Amino acid sequence: MISRWNTGRDRVERLLDAGRIERVSPDRAPAELMLTQATAHLESARMLAASDVVGAYQLAYDAARKALAALLANQGLRAKGLGGHAVLYDVARAQLDPPLGEVLRPFDWMRRLRNTTEYPDTDKPVAAAADLAEAIPAALAVVNAIRAVIEDMPAY
Protein backbone atom coordinates (compact mmCIF):
# COMPACT_ATOMS: atom_id res chain seq x y z
CA MET A 1 0.00 0.00 0.00
CA ILE A 2 1.13 3.54 -0.74
CA SER A 3 1.80 5.60 2.39
CA ARG A 4 0.33 8.85 1.01
CA TRP A 5 -1.85 9.51 -2.02
CA ASN A 6 -0.79 12.79 -3.57
CA THR A 7 -2.78 12.88 -6.80
CA GLY A 8 -5.57 15.43 -6.39
CA ARG A 9 -4.41 16.37 -2.92
CA ASP A 10 -4.81 20.12 -3.53
CA ARG A 11 -8.43 19.65 -4.61
CA VAL A 12 -9.21 17.39 -1.65
CA GLU A 13 -7.64 19.91 0.73
CA ARG A 14 -9.78 22.71 -0.75
CA LEU A 15 -12.91 20.60 -0.27
CA LEU A 16 -11.91 19.87 3.33
CA ASP A 17 -11.27 23.57 3.98
CA ALA A 18 -14.64 24.47 2.44
CA GLY A 19 -16.43 21.93 4.65
CA ARG A 20 -17.68 19.93 1.63
CA ILE A 21 -15.96 16.80 2.94
CA GLU A 22 -14.87 15.86 6.42
CA ARG A 23 -12.34 13.54 7.98
CA VAL A 24 -13.65 10.39 9.65
CA SER A 25 -11.88 7.27 10.85
CA PRO A 26 -10.56 5.37 7.83
CA ASP A 27 -12.36 2.05 7.77
CA ARG A 28 -12.24 -0.67 5.16
CA ALA A 29 -15.22 -2.56 6.62
CA PRO A 30 -17.90 0.01 5.68
CA ALA A 31 -16.16 0.49 2.35
CA GLU A 32 -16.45 -3.22 1.62
CA LEU A 33 -20.07 -3.20 2.77
CA MET A 34 -20.86 -0.35 0.37
CA LEU A 35 -19.18 -2.21 -2.50
CA THR A 36 -21.18 -5.34 -1.67
CA GLN A 37 -24.38 -3.29 -1.60
CA ALA A 38 -23.42 -1.68 -4.90
CA THR A 39 -23.08 -5.10 -6.52
CA ALA A 40 -26.48 -6.14 -5.13
CA HIS A 41 -28.04 -2.90 -6.41
CA LEU A 42 -26.78 -3.67 -9.91
CA GLU A 43 -28.26 -7.17 -9.79
CA SER A 44 -31.57 -5.72 -8.62
CA ALA A 45 -31.46 -3.06 -11.34
CA ARG A 46 -31.07 -5.78 -13.98
CA MET A 47 -34.04 -7.68 -12.55
CA LEU A 48 -36.27 -4.58 -12.45
CA ALA A 49 -35.24 -3.19 -15.84
CA ALA A 50 -38.32 -4.43 -17.72
CA SER A 51 -40.90 -3.61 -15.06
CA ASP A 52 -39.60 -0.46 -13.30
CA VAL A 53 -37.17 1.61 -15.35
CA VAL A 54 -37.05 4.51 -12.88
CA GLY A 55 -36.48 2.25 -9.87
CA ALA A 56 -33.85 0.28 -11.73
CA TYR A 57 -32.12 3.50 -12.78
CA GLN A 58 -32.07 4.71 -9.16
CA LEU A 59 -30.47 1.43 -8.12
CA ALA A 60 -27.84 1.61 -10.87
CA TYR A 61 -27.03 5.19 -9.89
CA ASP A 62 -26.86 4.24 -6.21
CA ALA A 63 -24.43 1.45 -7.06
CA ALA A 64 -22.01 3.94 -8.60
CA ARG A 65 -22.57 6.45 -5.78
CA LYS A 66 -21.89 3.85 -3.10
CA ALA A 67 -18.69 2.80 -4.85
CA LEU A 68 -17.44 6.40 -4.78
CA ALA A 69 -18.50 6.73 -1.14
CA ALA A 70 -16.61 3.50 -0.39
CA LEU A 71 -13.45 5.01 -1.82
CA LEU A 72 -13.75 7.97 0.53
CA ALA A 73 -14.71 5.83 3.56
CA ASN A 74 -11.62 3.72 3.04
CA GLN A 75 -9.53 6.90 3.08
CA GLY A 76 -11.26 8.39 6.13
CA LEU A 77 -13.23 10.99 4.19
CA ARG A 78 -16.97 11.63 3.89
CA ALA A 79 -19.01 14.03 1.77
CA LYS A 80 -21.07 16.56 3.70
CA GLY A 81 -24.24 18.49 3.11
CA LEU A 82 -26.09 19.61 0.04
CA GLY A 83 -24.41 18.48 -3.15
CA GLY A 84 -22.70 15.56 -1.45
CA HIS A 85 -23.15 13.27 -4.44
CA ALA A 86 -21.39 15.77 -6.70
CA VAL A 87 -18.58 16.02 -4.15
CA LEU A 88 -18.07 12.25 -4.28
CA TYR A 89 -17.46 12.56 -8.00
CA ASP A 90 -15.23 15.60 -7.52
CA VAL A 91 -12.99 13.81 -4.99
CA ALA A 92 -12.78 10.59 -7.00
CA ARG A 93 -12.02 12.46 -10.22
CA ALA A 94 -9.37 14.60 -8.52
CA GLN A 95 -7.58 11.50 -7.25
CA LEU A 96 -8.15 9.06 -10.10
CA ASP A 97 -8.40 11.04 -13.36
CA PRO A 98 -6.17 10.07 -15.01
CA PRO A 99 -6.20 7.12 -15.42
CA LEU A 100 -9.87 6.40 -14.62
CA GLY A 101 -11.53 9.51 -16.05
CA GLU A 102 -13.37 7.65 -18.79
CA VAL A 103 -14.78 5.21 -16.24
CA LEU A 104 -15.77 7.90 -13.72
CA ARG A 105 -17.17 10.48 -16.15
CA PRO A 106 -20.57 8.80 -16.71
CA PHE A 107 -21.35 9.25 -13.01
CA ASP A 108 -21.85 12.96 -13.62
CA TRP A 109 -24.61 12.55 -16.24
CA MET A 110 -26.11 9.75 -14.18
CA ARG A 111 -26.22 12.08 -11.17
CA ARG A 112 -27.87 14.89 -13.10
CA LEU A 113 -30.47 12.52 -14.60
CA ARG A 114 -31.05 10.95 -11.21
CA ASN A 115 -31.86 14.41 -9.83
CA THR A 116 -34.37 15.22 -12.58
CA THR A 117 -35.88 11.75 -12.17
CA GLU A 118 -36.11 12.00 -8.39
CA TYR A 119 -37.49 15.56 -8.52
CA PRO A 120 -39.52 15.60 -11.75
CA ASP A 121 -40.15 18.77 -13.70
CA THR A 122 -42.08 18.86 -16.95
CA ASP A 123 -39.17 20.67 -18.63
CA LYS A 124 -36.56 18.06 -17.71
CA PRO A 125 -36.24 14.40 -18.66
CA VAL A 126 -36.64 11.43 -16.35
CA ALA A 127 -34.76 8.17 -16.78
CA ALA A 128 -35.92 6.08 -19.71
CA ALA A 129 -35.05 2.56 -20.84
CA ALA A 130 -32.21 3.83 -23.06
CA ASP A 131 -30.69 5.66 -20.09
CA LEU A 132 -30.92 2.55 -17.97
CA ALA A 133 -29.25 0.51 -20.71
CA GLU A 134 -26.27 2.89 -20.48
CA ALA A 135 -26.36 3.35 -16.71
CA ILE A 136 -26.06 -0.29 -15.68
CA PRO A 137 -22.75 -0.98 -17.48
CA ALA A 138 -21.45 2.48 -16.54
CA ALA A 139 -22.20 1.87 -12.87
CA LEU A 140 -20.68 -1.60 -13.06
CA ALA A 141 -17.49 -0.08 -14.50
CA VAL A 142 -17.33 2.42 -11.61
CA VAL A 143 -17.86 -0.32 -9.02
CA ASN A 144 -15.22 -2.54 -10.61
CA ALA A 145 -12.72 0.33 -10.91
CA ILE A 146 -13.11 1.33 -7.27
CA ARG A 147 -12.88 -2.29 -6.17
CA ALA A 148 -9.60 -2.56 -8.14
CA VAL A 149 -7.96 0.58 -6.68
CA ILE A 150 -9.32 0.78 -3.15
CA GLU A 151 -6.61 -1.41 -1.64
CA ASP A 152 -3.93 0.94 -2.98
CA MET A 153 -5.63 4.08 -1.65
CA PRO A 154 -4.22 4.81 1.82
CA ALA A 155 -5.94 6.69 4.61
CA TYR A 156 -6.02 10.35 3.79
- The pTM is what? 0.95
One-letter identity of residue 41: H
**10 CB neighbour count, 10 Å cutoff:** 10
Q: Where are the domains of the chain?
A: 9-151
Question: What SS3 class is residue 22?
Answer: strand
Which pLDDT tens digit goes with each residue over 101-113?
999 999 999 999 9
Q: Residue 129: exposed, middle, or buried by beta-carbon count in 10 A (0-12, 13-18, 19+)?
A: exposed
CATH fold for the domain made of 9-151:
Four Helix Bundle (Hemerythrin (Met), subunit A) (1.20.120)
Mean pLDDT of 26-51: 97
Which pLDDT tens digit goes with each residue over 43-83?
999 999 999 999 999 999 999 999 999 999 999 999 999 99
Q: What percent of the chain has pLDDT over 70?
A: 97
pLDDT of residue 5: 80
Which pLDDT tens digit goes with each residue over 115-136?
999 998 889 999 999 999 999 9
